[in-house]
Structure 1
Amino acid sequence: MIPQQRLPDTAALHEAAAQRILELARAAIAARGAFHIALSGGNTPRGLHARLAREPGVDWQHWHVWFGDERCVPPDHADSNYHMARETLLDRVTIPVGQIHPMIPAAGLAPAEAARLYAAQLADEAPRRDNRPELDLILLGLGGDGHTASLFPGTAILDEHEHDAAEVFVPKLDAWRVSLTRPSIERARHVLFLVDGNGKADILQRLERGPAEAEMPLPVERLRPQGKLEWYISQPQ
């Protein structure tokens, strides 16, 4: 779990992560003319989004926004990651609408169809390496069970290698989701975990020590990013 930054509180976490994201955005735009980022869901990114939206002078016109995973709910639903991102970031900045890519763009879309369409969007509009999508940055969170994006323990998506996005049924939530797959996450130029340490002591300790011989690797432990991997973690209060 290195390199990592341990921050004293959530505000410092958001500030440090925002500065790193803005640095990567400037570098990507200077080098390749665009910045392709996948946002994460949950509560932790809310403050990060608000901090990014306040930054002056950002070249939003060259940002392209993707999502790491999504609940299978309409895009205006309170549980939608896209809806949260719109409220906290996307409606506050000037990223062109055509450069924002929700995973569930319309109500009533079946999970398998949503995953197929998202994989097709990635193939058509994301940067590519070895004929597969290569995003500049993927933001990820960490669940107490070791899941990240919608890669949950014991789910079939963990062994999906053919597609860049896939549907997944999560039994513990009794719900369908759509997620980037391990290969699409692993090919990103940068992967940045954003972790609020409150309530995460056990899982962070597990990641520090690694799985014991009799333990199955957690989803997050199965990721093998090919690019730069960084962790930003706030200290528990």
Structure 2
Amino acid sequence: MSPTTMKKKIRLSIVSYLNSKPFLYGLFRHNLDQEVDLSLDIPADCAKKLLNNQADLGLVPVAILPQLAHYELISDYCIGASSPVKTVCIYSQCPIEEIETLYLDYQSRSSVALAQILVKKHWKLSPKIAQASSGYIQNLGGKTAGVVIGDRCMGLEKDFAYVYDLAEVWMQYSGLPFVFAAWVANKTLAPSFVQKFNAALAEGLNQRQQLLALLPPQKQFSLEEYYYKNIDYQLDEAKRKGLEKFLQEGVELGLL
């Protein structure tokens, strides 16, 4: 494919959660928001836009990669984790082996596939799988648990007896870190734009302390720890191996 012309704004979809704020901060500091048509979306909608060619580039759930006719990972940055991530968890009032129904977060693509892989292959369980809708968290209880992702997780652990961090469990299962979302284009973009884009992402990550000073504090949640410890933004070789294993197992189980 030939590079897209820069005369037309690149349509960019970014996850709207706090974990993407460093990237957004860098894009605005580099004035790249003037060169793109930017939309902030929940992960599932980021995925739909890239799949339906309503976006050219996105910070999208990696679970959609097998569905794309053509894709390019244009950056060495991602939303990943090499330790507990804190914002992708199964919340339950009973131990995992006693769960009878597991709700899957409607905002998610990668995390719900990850949860099902771990339920089947790590815990070797077979609860009823249910698709959640808005407001489902308040209905969790008894032997009904749920996968919850994103900012809604912040402080949620106090309401549940059992919390299973899926990045941590994936590490126990596979020995590899996990990639939740990556910068994916569904067409070839101009190299000059890609270079400028990655420079903006790098600056955003380098300016996390300045960003933290601008963001309101979160109750019962350390954003500084989240940005520097829980989220691992480097798409390094270990994460690429983790991504490959996730995609392979997801396809084998018919989840992707």
Same fold (TM over 0.5): no
Q: Compare the two structures and name the one with the higher helix fraction.
A: 2
How high is the TM-score relative to the length of structure 2?
0.27
How high is the TM-score relative to the length of structure 1?
0.29
